[in-house]
Structure 1
């Protein structure tokens, strides 16, 4: 057992995770005598992992990545209501003798758009691409902040299931392929309207084809948010910038969700005074 307090990230595979870089950066800046590491945990070993960590007084918790975000829910003692609603846990911490599961993707996604959400709007609309692991946290966060949401997906059954989690509406799901082709839809006056386009798929990630989106489907002055962070500027964001639209890259959500977890692990807010240096470290 470790004498130094530590947290970690678990997954299978795990070598790609940027969580150790983020948390060690903050631990150094905060001057905390603690560690953060990565642990390769296979699905069949997940229950053994938690049984061992329960007995380690130095363990402060773990982040959970693919493919364990749902499987861990059956192995812990209590699940935060927000994580229960999302249906996935990405952070587990020991609290008063129990293992408690949280989901920090919700808060992490919202963090970079908080200045927009603080404004008054006549109407808020989001076009969300994808139905995967992060999509439910994203759509629930947007729904809770007054957005009307269109879900674009390859599998309409999954889109339907996702909408049922907050507001069933067959009119607000669409095949993702439709958005690859031009439309002559005449957008009305968007004054006072907040339009958001969000990619939650892996399309545009290194080694993957780009998201096929014809920008005739994108309202004027929309904000384009891509949760992919490798590469930092996806083809979607590059094209949006070329058209003069506001963009948000995936590192914002990654750092935001990590900050929420850091505070649970180590009992103090993450030192956010050097986010630019952290971003440079992550993309360097």
Structure 2
């Protein structure tokens, strides 16, 4: 039987997931399909619980779904089993339908972040170092969790609303420390990795006002924003000789584990895929 998966969100028209997974389905010659559903939060439970019995127009058997804003946290209460990483992060971005119909909730954002960095650098070099995380939203939770797994000794968290940074630090306590937003530049001499998880610098949003003067030599700067691909932060990082990692890699790499679970193939992230997805981004 043809296998199927999809992505649920509200709204969903902006999602690049159908283009991304569609590319892999074609590349690997699979009898499979991937669709997008616009699902309001109040309908999520019914949609997820229906997945094991859902058939597509051509008899496809649905193997699972991705979840995007604003459904990631709500899904924790709905799936049958929540894997350890998703429980620790407090959000699910991937649901897998097991053969017995059980719904397994996963979060692959953290490993997607790590694999994106690994394209440019040896992430083992970060062990025992200090990271600075800008922002304290849902993406920041997954990234801080990933930084803990990578072995950072200290993770500095700052957010425009300090209480949200404190809540994140309390949720993931290992080596975290909260700074006021206006202290973000004062600690750069300690920092080996800067991560922007805010929307600042995104197309249509205010710029991220931050100088990288004083950043530790050999540091890496990354931004989860990918519209534009090179944000002001990344352009400044490159100008000052730092390694800059864009946000598209995280999007591509976080998708690998779900695709493998649904369709039985471990896909590759390569330059052709990046170019294909970027073209879809330009068309939106």
TM-score (norm 2): 0.89
Cα shift at 1:270: 1.0
- Counterpart residue number, 2:263: 266
1:41 is aligned to 39
Deviation at 1:186, TM superposition (A): 9.3
C-alpha distance in 1, partners of 2:161/2:3? 44
For residue 7 of structure 1, the aligned residue among 5, 10, 13 is 5
Choose the corresponding residue for 2:106, options 99, 102, 106.
Answer: 102
Match of 2:19 in 1: 21
Q: Is the 8 A contact 2:117 2:123 kept in 1?
A: yes
Matched length: 270
Tell me the SS of whatever aligns to 1:27: helix
Unaligned runs of 5+ in 2: 56-60, 280-284
Counting only pairs closer than 5 Å after superposition, residues 59-138 of structure 1 correspond to structure 2 as 59-95=62-98, 96-114=100-118, 115-119=121-125, 123-138=128-143
- Offset at 1:261? 1.4
Residue 91 and residue 5 in structure 1: after superposition, are their counterparts in 2 closer, same or farther (change >3 A)? same
- Kindly indicate whether the alpha-carbon contact (under 8 Å) linking 1:228 and 1:249 is maintained by their aligned counterparts in 2: yes
- SS of the aligned residue for 1:84 comes to helix
Say whether the 8 Å CA contact 2:51–2:63 is kept in structure 1: no
Please, which runs of 5 or more residues in structure 1 have no aligned partner? 189-193
After TM superposition, give the deviation of residue 48 of structure 1 in Å: 2.0
SS in 1 for 2:213: helix
- Call closer, same or farther: CA 1:211–1:78 in 2, change over 3 Å: same
**Partner in structure 2 of residue 31 of structure 1:** 29
Distance 1:164 1:38, change over 3 A: same
- Cα distance in 2 between the residues matched to 1:168 and 1:47: 33
Give the CA deviation at 1:169: 7.0
CA distance in 2, matches of 1:168, 1:264: 30
Q: CA deviation at 1:154?
A: 1.2
Deviation (angstroms), 1:34: 0.3
Structure 1 length as normaliser, TM-score? 0.89
Pairwise CA distance, 1:177: 3.0
- Give the SS at the match of 1:63: strand
Look up the SS of the partner of 1:62 in the other structure.
strand
> Structure 1 residue 282 and structure 2 residue 280: aligned?
no
CA contact (8 A) 2:189 2:214 kept: no
1:223 to 203, 212, 220: 220
Q: 1:237 maps to which residue?
A: 234
Question: What are the superposed Cα offsets for residues 33-84 of structure 1, whole Å, 9 maximum, x if unpaired?
Answer: 1011111111121122123323126001000000000111111111011111
After superposition, residues 196-211 of structure 1 pair within 5 angstroms as 196-211=193-208
Instruction: State the distance in 2 between where 1:98 and 1:278 align.
Output: 32
Partner of 1:191: none
Deviation of 1:237 (Å): 0.6
Contact 1:22 1:278 in 2 (8 A): yes
2:58 corresponds to which residue? none
SS at match of 1:233: coil
- Give the corresponding residue for 1:146: 151
Change (3 A) 1:51 1:168: closer
8 Å CA contact 1:108–1:260 kept in 2: the answer is no
